[in-house]
Structure 1
Amino acid sequence: MISTLLSQLRHGPDGDPTPRLAYGADYNPEQWPREVWEEDVRLMREAGVNIVSVGIFSWARVQPAENEWDFGWLDEIMDLLHAGGIGVDLATATASPPPWLTTAHPEILPVTASGETLWPGARQHWRPTSPVFREHALRLVRTMAERYADHPALVAWHVSNELGCHNVYDYSDDAARAFRGWLRARYTTLDALNHAWGTAFWSQRYSDWEQILPPRLAASHPNPTQQLDFKRFSSDALKDYLRAERDVLRELTPGVPVTTNFMVMGGTKGMNYADWAAEIDFVSNDHYVVPGPQDRDELSFSANLVSGISGGRPWFLMEHSTSAVNWQPVNVAKRPGDLARDSLVHVAHGADAVCFFQWRQSAAGAEKYHSAMVPHAGADSEVFRAVTGLGRTLEALAPVAGTEREPARVGIVFDWDSWWASEQDSHPTSLLDYRQEALNWYSALLALGVRADVVTPQAELDRYQVLIAPVLHVVPAPLAKELTRYVENGGHLITTYFSGVVDENDHIWLGGYPGALRDLLGIRVEEFGPLLGTDTVDVDVNGVAGGAAGSVWTDRITVTDPAVEVLAHYRSGTYADRPAVTRRTVGQGSAAYVSTRLGADGLTGLLPELLAPAGVGSELPDGARGSVELIVRRGGGSRYLFLVNRTDETVAVPGITGDALIGRTDDGGAVVLSPRDVAVVRQPAR
């Protein structure tokens, strides 16, 4: 359905249906005097903006009281934007309940695990399972849809905003009732639930459904399966709310696509977006860079994962920042070139829209120090000049619109159940970081110049010659069978410590670790060896001078199959001289195991050995490997090679032929990338 949105955006003022990428921002005209609005539209046209999201936090303005409505200002801004040739992604305005609603109905407010009420004064102060909140919210949605169904500016609906950002986990009585209903649907009988939750432990056996509660603050560690199921339920509760708004919009405006903005970034893990994607007409995402040694690798990883969630189809970058944000401990401004590079990496990974929070930087409120397309300094500023420059670049990249990302030969499996379960309490270590481990593998592949897709276990795994499944902790029997079939059919699986350990109920696969994957890997681990704090062990990784340092985890590995090759040993620590990395050959396939965290640098030395059986290597010339990221989109008979400079140095990339949509070449024909630069080369499809 993103094609529906794009088809509406492709018609400029003269009706020319030339493809183009969408470009814009969240627009909050209610924060500004009326006389600013026409100037905003003029500057939007100057910058190349063709879409804005409107009404996201406007509930109190649109509905000042329960039976009072004020649409005059919104009518006017919709008309003004349409006259300027700018489409509107209209929000349902339900993200932040107005004071009149919370005053009349405090029972809609979320409750923490310790029983504290989250009061109004910020945003998202509502329970996903509150029937009272839903009644008022859907009344607003219906009223909005009826009023703007036929407005020519309307190109998409934007459900709520960043669902679950602040209210994913609610422990109220409403949540408890809904949780019990969810559990009944999942398990049918109390006997099945008691088995799944292992309630024979600590005298937790339930004899009545009404006895079951969310995992509220307890005297010790709550039941682990109860915790895991509550995470699943909480994601599903928000998904159910998303469906409720979507269904009203589809009923009243069946031709207008519906989306909501995900937050695939950093530590946002409460919402299983892979499970949500089928509920909306096109996937949208918000992403903000957190400064650090892997900050731009994390941006690429997140954009890549959004593409995986979207099934490789184009998606919508709903929010990112032109420069500094306001919510980090230190809010660092972006350097020259970062605004464009960050945006274009998202485009490379499939974004057909580039939007920012927000259009005009707020003069008041909690986000007044968050950057915007028009900063406090106004249009005469470096930020706005960079914004207009990006607008011109996106115009040059118009042929890319509607194309899909070309699959890589390597897939990194990212699994929400494993993320949730592997980081719960009362485990061998609290230092395990699921997402960081996945990012380390991704960074190592980037350093080697090897393209990879980040995918979910539900993806078509056979399309990949190599599957990397870091900390695949939760492995139900069908997944174990599927991975075994994948290897037996010639695929090459790489997995790591704490993988295959539990089933979908968080029950241990007995007989030794790595449980469900033990026979496939040809190894057995009797006891884990987590490392304290900053302790490390030496590992003799080929290609790394002096070996590599392992951290967080070690395993006491026993090889159980003669087809297993030991690729690296521990050189120090409790398990010195024992295997650290193994690989079992299975016909034309293989299954490898890495038993410690090697970090991106250590994995860079190890990966060539692990990739060799599949014949997978870099598609970049020697001088560009590690310095340049290659991402490919394809469609309409063409391939589009995005070449992203990962460094602060000028890099030449020889041997790339084709039509340069953006970028420059030297006298020898090599693509030349300035620091933090991006080039895009069009080639005929293979």
Structure 2
Amino acid sequence: MEKAIDLQGLTLGVCYYPEHWPETLWESDLDRMLEAGIKVCRIAEFAWSKFERTEGIFTFDFFDRFLDLAQSKGMKVIFCTPTATPPAWLTEKYPEVLNAFQDGTLVRHGMRGHCNHTSPVFLELCARLVEQLASHYGKHPAIIGWQIDNELNCETNMYYAESDSKAFRAYLKDKFGTLEALNDAMGTVFWNQEYTDWEEVFVARPTLADSPNPHLLLEQKRFVSKVTIDFCRMQADILRSHCKPGDFITTNGMFGHLDNVQMTEEALDFFTYDSYPNFAYSLNQSVNANAAAAGRLRDRTSGLALSKVRSISPNFGIMEQQSGGGGWQTRMPQPAPRPGQMRLWAMQSIAHGADYISFFRWRTCSVGTEIYWNGILDWDNRDTRRLQELREIHKETEKLSSVVGSRYQAKIALAYHYATEWDGEADIFHGPLDGVSVMNWFAACQTAHAPMDLLCLRDQLTLEQLLPYELLILPHISLLSDMVCDVLKAYLEQGGKIIFGARTGYKDEYGRCPMRPAPGGAASLIGGTVKEYTLVPEGGGGTASYAGKSLPMPLLNEVLEASGGEVLAVYEREYYAGQPAILCRRVGQGEAVYVGSAFSEELAAALLCRVGLEEPYAAELELPPEVELAVRVKGDKVYRFLLNYTAENSIFTCKKPLADVLSGLQYSGRVTLPPYGVMVLTDL
């Protein structure tokens, strides 16, 4: 069942922390929020001690007062469960709730996310707290929804406490039944790793050369996802038993070793994301060291993350939208957003499917680790440039109210697969390919103004999910099941086009390499197999002759062998010069293409041209590369979002008369889009 946010209009919110400020400020804060167009505030995600200062003694008056004030002002509230920051009394009395480093050293109180999700004591105390909050606040008229925890698996996505090993053993015993089956699936015959007793099994521990059993490590990540989903579902079930009809339940963030699609299906009404495009300008970290395109696109690359969010909820919320620069006192330093960028980033989120935008945060905190993470207001509480920009955003979102419920439209989908991602983290022979190829496909589609979705590949994949797309890209889905291949074949037979990348289908579900030619179940679709492979030799290889052009074939080269497929390109250099690099095969009404390498941006662009999907809106708009085109559609209404990510004017051409929803102006012919400018063009 589709899980999408359902609002009456584009809504603006803000993250607010009543416990950080004198109560005498609350009323003026709410008044200023409302004046600036804020209609919702998110509260309480780190406030456990405000409810349970000592064990078992619950008090509610602090947030009662805030909620009653919010109700009197007409401010709506998203209430959070504060389980991401358990209090000091809890971790001191029950140290078994603490997460641990891989060597077993306990993580201590003083940050956040310092507990694990397998400790029976922690689960019991969390459930009791959520029950108390839900039963007391669940019917409050100011509350419209609940956020579970905060950014699940953010601070860490691996857990090494004693309770984690116990729970992991139970998980494996339930899944595999016997030690013999576990040993077979995990390949423990290698290096004499066989288990003869369940008590010998642990979550990954320090090993020489940091090389634990890769198959057991992959299974541990599946276990982490399951445990985190169980933790989320436990809270959701309690909340649903108390909250008002129509109040939603969600969570925020998108972090590692967590199947967010499954979590949303099983526990949430829709998914929300925390969007921080300014990380692209971080002063001490690369945007993406794997791909030069990321450095060129900068904050535009946030659209890739938003596309992944859209694969979870086609219409979603932004629970934290960046409003300022800064960072933590210890890391993530960023410059302040330039004038117009806060608006640009909010519109980027809306263009990609967000119907709710909540800015982080109302006022910059004056204490703690985040004293430099700027909000709408600064410490001094005076009006800021960002507050004025918020007022302008509010005026524009009111004009865009009809966009709510419209869907992002794309003819291209790029597939991702959680188990392949998790396995690739510990596999240098396929993991690094994905970061390069995904970014280069995103860059090629952005430059060609070809909107692209992301699509989660699961064994539950259906033909109906694929049919809206003309092109499906599977960059490097190493753990590709035969069940999914059957759906891909049906898609091809009905006229779809698929482009596979190197390392497709060569592993099974446990990350083992079975004795069959790569690309496994996809071999019959592409009309060929992989004869041999090599990492691209330094100073050699890495290019292929395709359609009269020499195109980069980076990182890893597979030498292909055709068996019914047509050779589209051959390698140009090294000992495999002249041998097949790209194959294609007709399947029914469709076509499968297999590329024996990672994807360069040039190669991705060439393949877009092959399938005729470059500049799909060329009949309406002629756009320069620096302008993003995103399209949302509702019925016969088409919203064309144009976003300029540069500090310069950008010139484009309207090939037919179009009207800008934001300015009310009509355009035809050459048009100037100002620095960091946004237009939303519709038919007259």
Residues 76, 142 of structure 2: 8 Å contact kept: yes
What does residue 608 of structure 2 align with?
A: 607
Corresponding residue for residue 649 of structure 1: 649
Contact 2:252/2:273 (CA < 8 Å) preserved in 1? Answer: yes
| Structure 1 segment 290-329 matched on structure 2, within 5 A | 290-291=279-280, 292-310=295-313, 312=314, 314-327=315-328, 329=332
Residues 361 and 374 of structure 2 are in contact (CA less than 8 Å); yes or no, is this contact kept in structure 1? yes
Contact 1:246–1:258 under 8 Å retained in 2:
no
Q: Distance in 2 between matches of 1:661 and 1:538?
A: 46
Aligned to 1:124: 113
Structure 2 unaligned blocks of 5 or more: 281-294
Q: String of CA shifts for 1:166-198, please: whole Å, max 9, x gaps.
A: 243112221112112222332233333222212
Name the residue aligned to 1:631: 630
1:661 alignment partner in structure 2: 661
Deviations 1:206-248 (A, max 9, x none): 3333332112222352222111110011011010000111111
Q: How do 1:302-451 and structure 2 match up within 5 A?
A: 302-310=305-313, 312=314, 314-327=315-328, 329-376=332-379, 378-406=381-409, 408-425=410-427, 427-428=428-429, 432-451=432-451
Contact 1:536 1:549 in 2 (8 A): no
Partner of 1:165: 154
Q: Which moved more, 1:198-207 or 1:127-136?
A: 198-207
Instruction: Supply the AA of the counterpart residue of 1:333.
Output: A
Alignment length, in residue pairs?
658
Q: CA separation in 1, counterparts of 2:448 and 2:378?
A: 38
CA deviation profile, 1:80-136 (whole Å, cap 9, x unmatched): 222222110000111100111111111100012221211111111111111111111
How many angstroms apart in 1 are the aligned matches of 2:118 and 2:124? Answer: 11
AA paired with 1:553? L
For residues 665 and 672 of structure 1, do their structure 2 counterparts lie closer, same or farther at Cα, with a shift above 3 Å needed?
A: farther
* Equivalent-residue separation in structure 2 for 1:533 and 1:365 (angstroms): 48
Q: Which residue identity lines up with residue 189 of structure 1 in the other structure?
A: T
1:666 positional shift = 6.5
Question: Would the alpha carbon gap of residues 535 and 244 (structure 1) be closer, same or farther in structure 2, given more than 3 Å must change?
Answer: farther
Matched, 1:61 2:50: yes
CA distance in 2, matches of 1:6, 1:550: 44
The question of whether the paired residues in 2 share the 8 Å contact of 1:664 and 1:672 is answered with: no
Instruction: Give, as a single letter, the amino acid of the residue that structure 2 aligns with 1:479.
Output: V
Aligned pairs for 1:535-684 within 5 A = 537-542=542-547, 547-561=550-564, 563-566=565-568, 568-609=569-610, 611-612=611-612, 617-620=615-618, 621=620, 623-624=622-623, 626-635=625-634, 638-647=637-646, 648-655=648-655, 657-663=657-663, 665=665, 668=668, 672-683=672-683
Task: Give the secondary-structure state (helix, strand or coil) at the position aligned to 1:294.
Answer: helix
1:190 has 2:179 as partner = yes
Match of 2:479 in 1: 474
Inter-CA distance 513–631: structure 2 relative to 1 (3 Å threshold): same
Amino acid at match of 2:551: A
SS of residue matched to 1:45 = helix
Which residue in 2 is equivalent to 1:455?
455
The 1:652/1:428 distance shift into structure 2, 3 A limit, reads closer
2:6 and 2:472 mapped to 1: Cα distance? 33
Q: Distance in 2 between matches of 1:162 and 1:170?
A: 16
Q: What is the alpha-carbon root mean square deviation over aligned residues? A: 2.5
Identity rate, percent: 28
Question: Are 2:125 and 1:136 equivalent residues in the alignment?
Answer: yes
Query: Equivalent residue for 1:275?
Result: 262
Using the TM superposition, give the Cα deviation of residue 335 of structure 1 relative to its aligned residue in structure 2, in angstroms. 1.9
Q: TM-score w.r.t. structure 2 length?
A: 0.90
CA distance in 2, matches of 1:202, 1:373: 57
Given residue 255 of structure 1, which amino acid in structure 2 is its aligned partner?
P
Shift of 1:377: 5.3
Structure 1 stretch 316-325 or stretch 638-647: which is displaced more?
638-647
One-letter amino acid of the structure 2 residue matched with residue 618 of structure 1: P
Structure 2 CA distance for aligned equivalents of residues 240 and 363 of structure 1: 36
2:40 aligned partner: 51
Residues in 1 aligned to 2:574 and 2:299: alpha-carbon distance in whole angstroms: 34
Are 1:240 and 2:240 counterparts?
Answer: no
SS of the counterpart of 1:565? strand
Which secondary structure state, in structure 1, belongs to the residue aligned with residue 12 of structure 2? strand
Select which of 205, 220, 238 maps to 1:230.
Answer: 220
Distance 2:602 2:61 in 1: 58
Q: Which secondary structure state, in structure 1, belongs to the residue aligned with residue 447 of structure 2? A: helix
Q: 1:487 to 1:325 in 2, by over 3 A?
A: farther
Q: 1:86 to 1:277 in 2, by over 3 A?
A: same
SS of corresponding position for 1:101: helix
Structure 1: which 5+ runs fail to align? 8-18
Specify the code of the residue in structure 1 equivalent to 2:604: L
Shift of 1:446: 1.3
After TM superposition, give the deviation of residue 652 of structure 1 in Å: 2.5
Task: Measure, in 1, the Cα distance between the counterparts of 2:150 and 2:333.
Answer: 25
1:161 Cα deviation (Å)? 0.5
Alpha-carbon shift at residue 256 of structure 1 (Å): 4.9
1:465 alignment partner in structure 2: 470
Q: Report the AA paired with residue 441 of structure 2.
A: W
Q: Which amino acid aligns with 2:233?
A: R
**Which residue matches 2:191?**
202
User: What SS class does the counterpart of residue 655 from structure 1 fall into?
Assistant: strand
CA distance in 1, matches of 2:322, 2:436: 23
Aligned partner of residue 511 in structure 1, secondary structure: coil
